[in-house]
Amino acid sequence: MTQAATRTWTELKPQRKASVPEGLWLRCPGCGQMIYRKQMEANLHVCPECQHHFRIGATERVRQLADPGSFEAMFTGLTPTDPLKFRDLKSYKDRLLAEQIKSGASDAAVAGTCFVKGRAAMLCVLDLSFMMGSMGSVVGETVTRSIEAATQRSLPLIIVSGSGGARMQESGLSLMQMAKTSAALGRHDDAGGLFISVLTDPTTGGVTASFAMLGDVIVAEPKALIGFAGPRVIQQTIRQELPEGFQRSEYLLKAGMVDRVAARAELRSELARVIDYAGK
């Protein structure tokens, strides 16, 4: 135990993760059809009818990308504090505790080493189910340490982003995580390290405007919302309807902002292939 005491969430072990509402069947937001939950889950959380990619948490993402049993978690002792004593309608402290109990995680990032189809890699995943995957000090520190570890060990780095952006409740300190993570990527780049950035629905704000858009290769999941400003903010600024598909992966591909759009089923092969071409 270093520094301050750990928080009570570790004792209050949550029972289960609650990402998709429970039930045997659910309606797919993509095609509107009733689909069998187990079938959807077995299909990497993708609708078997229309290929709608459901949002998934970090644990499921790691399970999908890492070779079975190969993931070794790192930096798991990091816990957020409330440096600004932030309070809106609810205090940040209470919000954190509620999120920690609900998710069983201390914050919105998971990191560790693993193998992807036999290729060693450093993997870091943001977790949308924890405060919309927002980046405060702990997420920024986890991402930065992952980058530094990848540089030191000459490992290819994979970061899977899904985030509403910088976390307001840590204000300026969240903003500084953008500089911190980007600067670490500068050093990774100087050392000749590979960084593959995977963008999932949604990736916006301060996460997009820092490490997420700095991949040597950027791969986006189909139809993911990716942008700097959120669609609502843009709409309020320009006071007109946004074009169909605006800020979605396929649009970004056309605009020249991402390298590839890859379905979830192809993602492991995509990563392995890029590592083969560009990894050390």
Partner 1 sequence: MTIHLVSMSFFQLDFEKPVLELDRKIESLESLLSRRSADANRPAAANGLLATLNPTVEVPPFAADQAESLDLDESDGAALTDPAAIRARIASLRAEREAKLAQVYTSLSPWNTVRVARVPKRPQTRDYIDMMCKDFCELHGDRRYGDDPAMVVGFARIGSIKVLVVGHHKGRTTQEKIACHFGCAHPEGYRKALAKMKLAEKFGLPIVTFVDTPGAYPGLGAEARGQAEAIAVNLREMSRLRTPIVSIVIGEGGSGGALGIAVADRVAMLEHAWYSVISPEGCAAILWKTANEQTNSAAADALKLTARDNLKLKIIDELIPEPLGGAHRDPKKTAAAIERWVLDRLHELKGINPATLPQQRYERFRRLGSFTEAVA
Binding-site ranges for partner 1 (CB under 8 A): 1-6, 76-81, 83-84, 86-89, 137-138, 140-141, 144, 166-168, 170-180, 182-187, 189-190, 205-206, 208-214, 227-229, 233-234, 237-238, 242-243, 246-247, 255-257
- C-beta of residue 159 within 8 angstroms of C-beta of residue 121: no
Of 40, 44, 46, 52, which one interacts with Zn ion (CB under 5 A)? Answer: 52
Considering CB distances under 5 to 8 angstroms, the limit depending on partner class, which of Zn ion, partner 1, none binds residue 50? Zn ion
Cβ distance 12 to 101 under 8 Å?
yes
Tell me which stretch binds Zn ion (CB under 5 A): 31-39, 55-63, 77-85, 148-156: 31-39
Q: CA gyration radius for the chain?
A: 18
- Cα(143)–Cα(160) distance, integer angstroms: 10
Q: Could you say whether residue 48 binds Zn ion (CB under 5 A)?
A: no
Quick one: what does residue 31 bind among partner 1, Zn ion, none, with the CB cut-off 5 to 8 Å set by partner type?
A: Zn ion
Choosing among partner 1, Zn ion, none, which partner's interface includes residue 49 (Cβ < 5 to 8 Å by kind)?
Zn ion
Nearer to partner 1, 10 or 39 (CB): 10
**Which CB atom, from 12 or from 265, has the smaller least distance to partner 1?**
12
Told to check if 20 binds Zn ion by CB under 5 A, we report no
Note whether 165 and 233 are within 8 A (CB): no
53 contact choice in Zn ion, partner 1, none (CB below 5 to 8 Å, kind-dependent): none
Please identify, using beta-carbon distances, which residue of 45 and 52 lies nearer to Zn ion: 52
Which burial class, exposed, middle or buried, applies to 124 when counting CB atoms under 10 A from its CB (0-12, 13-18, 19+)?
A: buried
What region, left, alpha or beta, does residue 251 occupy, with left being phi > 0 and alpha being psi -120 to 50 degrees?
A: alpha
Choose the contact partner of 52 out of Zn ion, partner 1, none; CB within 5 to 8 A by kind: Zn ion
The distance from CA 76 to its chain's CA centroid, rounded to whole angstroms, is: 16
Angle between helices 264-278 and 58-65 (to 10 degrees): 60
Q: Which is nearer to partner 1, 54 or 136 (CB)?
A: 136
Question: What minimum distance in Å lies between the beta carbon of 224 and partner 1?
Answer: 13
Closest approach of Cβ 86 to partner 1, in Å?
Answer: 5
Considering only CA atoms, which of 149, 64, 60 is closest in space to residue 113?
A: 149
Q: How far is the CB of 72 from partner 1 (least distance, A)?
A: 11
Kindly determine how many residues on this chain lie close enough to bind Zn ion according to the rule CB under 5 A. Answer: 7
| 84, interface contact from partner 1, Zn ion, none, CB < 5-8 Å by kind | partner 1
CA count, 13 A, side-chain hemisphere, 50: 13
Q: How far is CA 279 from CA 156, 198, 220, 265, in A?
A: 6, 16, 20, 22
Give the CA count within 13 Å in the CB-facing half-sphere of 177: 25
Residues that bind Zn ion (CB under 5 A): 28, 30-31, 47, 49-50, 52
